[in-house]
Structure 1
């Protein structure tokens, strides 16, 4: 069995305040007929800027509202529409499920895919996988793709206008990256690309954790004020790029497995993915018999950054 290290990442990652206004010139390098899918709120937050920038770049845009579930029937519906529109590139706008659907659709149609997240609640934008559900919302499977998205474009001016809970949930998801990476490295486990973790992936995982510890609180305050700033920029990058590449190329462990288990419990459905992962991180550290100072550091980080989450409720119960 090969012990080669495999690292995956988006072909291009662009982040900045107002950068969606430049989307057209980047999309044009991938195709001149874009089929854009997304939820109502997510699409509305970037619609005008996207139309203007694509118009300037001579990229035709077709918008279609995402029905809300990343399931095979929705993918089939969108494929029919995208084919009829003559799409040469797929654009996914919004949250995790719309982005995952865009990745499935692009892979099925063998087209490049552009991801424009409008919230920073998970590391889904940069990953080469999608979570597929049944029509009724039950977890069906994880689908892995040959490559990560061709372009990920993150407009922090859009991100900062969304509820802070999304950003904090993303921190919970990203906090797992380092601890799961170390667990996988110690156990010599394969990553999501069926390879070993590289030094680069482990460094990104550590930088992800360090960034959250240093800037998480300040980023939360900026998000509460609906404004951008260096701290918010750093945390959005940690939630999206550092976590996405670091986790997928290092591997996942108990924290995400616990999240998967919680996801089937109806009582957990009011909590976001990252909030359940944060709970899983604490459980994983306890399972590993981690040093008390490591557990306490994680307790403090979550208590400060992720108030009113499942993870904090659990932490309160064990203190």
Structure 2
């Protein structure tokens, strides 16, 4: 009998939503797009977003011959909330679930749709995360700590972003989304160097890496003017570019390019209550700086990144993250959660030791203060002072 030798097959993968639609006023077209997907939709959202969008959606669905049914989102994407919404989908006989609002509602809609066996649609009203396009959800504990990633066999059938809604939202949402999206290239290039796995499975395609890089380039060119435009609720070409970078390009780039240290540090930061005032992308920015230090990026690159993100209003010090006076036990709790075996920090192209991560995280404080002083920027503020100057609406 002839011997057979198993051949290792190296796969590369790129995944994406079935359709992406972006533009001013496109919420009015939601019914037309949803009608091609299902006939009895269920819309998961909170009361604030419902009040802003209900009349437009009602008319859009009326024109498309669709019934309108809203389900109130509980506020945190937990396993129990996903199960509750899945039960509601079954009770109402819905064949498509629409996540309307921020990343938390959208991730819950995806999880519920998967459990209920129906299709799902993402309608972000803010550009605060890259969750809308992906085939995964981030699941949290009821206390707001990271619990797990939940992966699905497909991406949303539709992602629809009304850029006027994004421009009407508090600017902090857009800034947080920029922090999330900037990490995409930092992490994708590290995963590529390590020949590591992506969230889509297998190695990255050239297309996935290119999308991550394009997102980075667009943000460095357009983020500052886009933030100024959104302060005035304006939709400009810079705003359109940043919304696409935050949502579509970063979404496909992180999923098909890979995650590494920045998001692992984010997950670690959720393990302590000190950081719960921060949005997802704000914690990710602390993670991006920590990863750059940990991987030995050039001083010029690190300092340019810290200054750029500080000018945008993203946290660049432990003080802003609520950890300025935290003792070693607290920081070690963060690091322990960020370095568990299943975390994405192990996609970095070197062995990761907890003490090295701890020192990199600690260095963020002095580094951020130094760069701010050199650039003539205000000193970092502790959370109580910082939050007094930003909207208090629930962050995605």
Tell me: CA distance 1:211–1:73, structure 2 relative to 1, closer, same or farther (3 Å): same
C-alpha displacement at 1:308, in angstroms? 5.3
Match for residue 180 of structure 1 among 187, 197, 206: 187
Q: How do 1:19-58 and structure 2 match up within 5 A?
A: 19-58=26-65
Q: 1:103-132 CA deviation, whole Å, 9 max, x = no partner?
A: 001111111101101111110101111111
Secondary structure at the aligned position of 1:296 is classed as: helix
Moved over 4 A (4+): 307-313
Give 3-state SS (helix, strand or coil) of 1:61's partner. coil
* Partner in structure 1 of residue 346 of structure 2: none
Cα drift, residue 268 of structure 1? 0.6
What's the CA shift for 1:318? 4.7
Q: Does 1:317 align with 2:369?
A: yes
| Higher normalized contact order (CA 8 Å, seq sep 6+, divided by chain length) | 1
Return 5+ residue gaps in structure 1 as ranges. none
For structure 2, list consecutive stretches of 5 or more residues without a partner in the other structure. 1-7, 321-364, 372-396
> Who wins on radius of gyration, i.e. which is larger?
2
| Distance 1:308-1:261 versus aligned 2 partners, 3 A rule | closer
1:226 alignment partner, one of 221, 233, 236: 233
- The residue number in structure 2 matching 1:169 is 176
Q: Does 1:303 align with 2:310?
A: yes
Q: 1:236-255, aligned counterparts within 5 Å?
A: 236-255=243-262
Partner of 1:142: 149
Q: Distance in 2 between matches of 1:307 and 1:90?
A: 33
Q: What are the superposed Cα offsets for residues 262-282 of structure 1, whole Å, 9 maximum, x if unpaired?
A: 111111111111011111111
Deviations 1:126-149 (A, max 9, x none): 111111123343332210111111
More off after superposition, 97-106 vs 135-144? 135-144
In structure 1, C-alpha distance between the alignment counterparts of 2:319 and 2:156, rounded to whole Å: 33
Q: CA deviation digits over 1:150-204, x for unaligned, max 9?
A: 1000001111111111100100010001111100000000000221111111111
Deviates more, 1:45-54 or 1:67-76: 67-76
1:78 to 65, 79, 85: 85
Assess if the C-alpha contact under 8 Å between 1:201 and 1:250 holds in 2: yes
Classify 1:157/1:110 alpha carbon distance in 2 versus 1 (closer, same or farther; 3 Å).
same
| Matched residue count | 319
Residues 309 and 315 in structure 2, CA contact (< 8 A), matched pair in contact too: no
Q: CA RMSD in A?
A: 1.5
Contact 1:201 1:249 in 2 (8 A): yes
Q: Single out whichever of 262-271 and 291-300 deviates more from structure 2.
A: 291-300
Greater shift in the superposed pair: 289-298 or 301-310: 301-310
Q: 1:289 to 1:206 in 2, by over 3 A?
A: same
Match of 2:337 in 1: none
Counterpart CA distance in 1 for 2:318 and 2:195 is: 28
Q: Which of these residues, 203, 206, 209, is aligned with residue 216 of structure 2?
A: 209
1:109 aligns with 2:116: yes
- Could you tell me how far 1:44 is from its partner in structure 2? 2.0
Q: CA 1:213 to 1:265, structure 2 compared with 1: closer, same or farther past 3 Å?
A: same
The answer to whether the 8 A contact 2:196-2:203 is kept is yes
Distance 1:229 1:312, change over 3 A: farther
CA distance in 2 between counterparts of 1:260 and 1:23 reads: 33
> How high is the TM-score relative to the length of structure 1?
0.96
For residues 21-77 of structure 1, the C-alpha deviation after alignment (integer angstroms, 9 at most, x for no partner) is 001110000011101111111222221111111110111121111111212222232
Deviates more, 1:157-166 or 1:43-52: 43-52
What is the TM-score when the length of structure 2 is the normalising length? 0.78
**2:277 — aligned with what?**
270
Which moved further from structure 2: 278-287 or 76-85? 76-85
Match of 1:62 among 44, 48, 69: 69
